[in-house]
Amino acid sequence: MDERDQFVVRPAEATDLPELKTIDGWNEKLQRRMFGNVNMGHLVENAVLALSAMDKTGRIAGFCALLHGPTTQLDKTPEDAQKALKWAKAESLALKHDPGSTLWLRVIASDGHCDLSLLRRAFAAQPGIKTILAIGPEGFGELPAIRSHFTEMSISNEHGVSVYECRRQKVLPTLRVRRAAVEDHDDLVPVLKRAQARKAALSSLPESSDPDEQFALARLIRAQDTTNVVLVAENEEGRLVGLMALTSAINVRALQRSFELEVYDNLQDPPEEEEAVPENFEEDDLPEEVEAEAEEAA
């Protein structure tokens, strides 16, 4: 089963904190050695991104937090720790990582199964981020999440730390999007069924395709025209991993009758506002150049 079918990843909340230390495989001593003293509550409120992963039972199975720079509290004197962090920043620049498209992993804790879901969600939530970097001491690379998804890029024997990187392309590969063809039907059915099993929003086929009848998806694809289109996404191996049906033929009146849309101007363009004319306005109030233009026009 795809890991994404097992976990829901969302922004972390303060109410998650009591559960974090009950994550399967949580080793507080190991976490402290690898990440230093982590104030989870502070991260939930102040991190660039703090995420919690929940399993199907609603139990917290993982957590991660990302910051703009390396701030890991290494098991060193404050002076030595600052030197190590300074080295890590310089090394990231030497590796040509643009600070504007890079985040640093502050902490990741999981049951060993939801790491990929956390990292995918992090990249999806930050479209401009190309790389997540991490700094850690000896043994850091043996953490399951680091070993599986990060690559050691630089090591400093002087400071006793290494810099690791996780590139977007590794966990969230670029997809090719194209118009669907009827021949895609058999490959798309499993994609649709997985989405419907997760009760994903908008995963039901439209009524126009007779969704309860066989080959409804094929009918939807075949019915494409200037107002209806079905797009599919395929990964680097050419495997179809997603689809989206779009239409510009919207019955606005039906939506207005069914939903409270006043806050959205009833899905209509607001009327153009005419420039208000001041009270007691007289033509004598016009500037001379405007009066001259009016006379020429006459």
108 close to 47: Cβ distance less than 8 angstroms? no
Dist CA 140 CA 159 (whole Å): 14
- Residue 222 has φ and ψ, to the nearest 5°, of -65, -25
* CATH architecture of the region 3-171: 3-Layer(aba) Sandwich (3.40)
Taking only the tens place, the pLDDT of each residue in 23-46 is 866 677 777 788 887 888 999 999
**236-243 contacts at long range (C-beta below 8 A, 24 or more positions apart):** 236/173, 236/174, 239/187, 240/184, 240/187, 240/188, 240/191, 241/175, 241/191, 242/175, 242/191, 243/180, 243/188, 243/191, 243/192
- Residue 210 has φ and ψ, to the nearest 5°, of 55, 65
One digit per residue, pLDDT tens: the chain, 298 residues? 445 558 899 999 999 988 887 786 667 777 778 888 788 899 999 999 999 999 888 889 999 999 999 986 667 788 888 899 999 999 999 999 999 999 999 999 887 789 999 999 999 999 999 999 999 998 899 888 899 999 999 999 999 999 999 999 999 888 899 999 999 999 999 999 988 887 777 888 888 888 888 899 999 999 999 999 999 999 888 999 999 999 988 888 888 888 888 888 888 887 776 666 666 655 555 555 544 555 555 5
Taking only the tens place, the pLDDT of each residue in 175-219 is 899 999 999 999 999 999 988 887 777 888 888 888 888 899 999
CATH 3.40.630.30, the chain: domain bounds: 3-171
The structure's pTM equals 0.70
249 close to 255: Cβ distance less than 8 angstroms? no
